[in-house]
């Protein structure tokens, strides 16, 4: 069977990519996504970022509708009951999920789509869209992860222990991803450059990914 590239060898247009950024809590995936979007925008790429809905309390540095949609637990459970979510999970006692309307809007944009999801959410998207690109962001060591979580000062000791145990389990699922990128302290720029390199390489595949949901 002929591929699109053999039928039209000088047609160097690229299908939009569905890029899923995941990783353990404390790995820095939020910072990676923010800097990735900033750099792509600066290059004129203007990807569509899928904003996750959560029941987690908003942090001082977060903006409603930009970082997350923040809703009550009652509202989130209503959304579950009425089938408004493509995927959702209960993570550390708080709900996170992506609405169908948000994902449809992103996929219809004609731009690359970037999603920031926990490991469970990434697995759900892989089932729905096998052609999605799954990238796992990791710390260099468990010690570094522990230090980051302590610096955030958002968890009690018992909550910290739960996050660390969950992180150990999530690290075991790295083989489910296409790429794994270490994100050392003070090296955010290098981490994002690696993500950008992956995106560039994926754009130049002779058999391009075509994610559909």
Distance from C-alpha of 148 to C-alpha of 150, rounded to nearest angstrom: 5
Q: Where are the beta strands (DSSP E) in the chain?
A: 18-23, 48-50, 52-54, 68-70, 85-91, 94-99, 113-116, 133-138, 179-182
User: Is pLDDT at 125 greater than 60 in this prediction?
Assistant: yes
Question: How much of the chain exceeds pLDDT 90, in percent?
Answer: 61
Q: For residue 155, what pLDDT is reported?
A: 65
Q: Which residues face 135 on adjacent strands?
A: 21, 179
pLDDT per residue over 154-187, tens digit each?
A: 667 777 888 888 888 999 999 999 999 999 988 9
User: Is pLDDT at 212 greater than 80 in this prediction?
Assistant: yes
Task: Give the residue numbers annotated as catalytic, written as ranges.
Answer: 59, 152, 163
Determine the number of helices (DSSP H) and then strands (DSSP E) in the chain. Answer: 8, 9
Distance from C-alpha of 198 to C-alpha of 179, rounded to nearest angstrom: 9
Range 4-50+111-203 classified under CATH 3.40.50.620: no
């Amino acid at each position: 069977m002929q591929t699109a590239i053999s039928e039209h060898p000088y047609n160097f247009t690229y299908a939009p990519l569905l890029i899923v950024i995941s990783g353990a809590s404390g790995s820095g995936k939020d910072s990676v996504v923010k800097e990735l979007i900033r750099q792509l925008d600066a290059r004129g790429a203007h990807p569509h970022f899928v904003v996750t809905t959560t029941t987690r309390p908003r942090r001082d540095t977060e903006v409603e509708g930009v970082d997350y949609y923040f809703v009550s637990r009652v509202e989130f459970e209503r959304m579950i009951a009425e089938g408004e979510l493509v995927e959702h999970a209960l993570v550390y006692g708080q709900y996170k999920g992506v609405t169908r309307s948000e994902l449809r809007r992103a996929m219809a944009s004609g731009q690359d789509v970037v999603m920031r999801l926990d490991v469970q959410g990434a697995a759900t998207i892989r089932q729905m869209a096998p052609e999605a690109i799954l990238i796992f962001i990791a710390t260099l060591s468990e010690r570094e992860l522990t230090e980051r979580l302590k610096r955030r000062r958002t968890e009690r000791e018992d909550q910290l222990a739960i996050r660390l145990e969950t992180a150990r389990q999530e690290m075991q699922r790295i083989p489910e991803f296409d790429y794994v990128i270490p994100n050392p302290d003070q090296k955010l720029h290098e981490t994002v450059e690696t993500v950008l390199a992956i995106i560039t390489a994926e754009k130049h595949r002779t058999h391009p990914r075509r994610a559909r949901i």
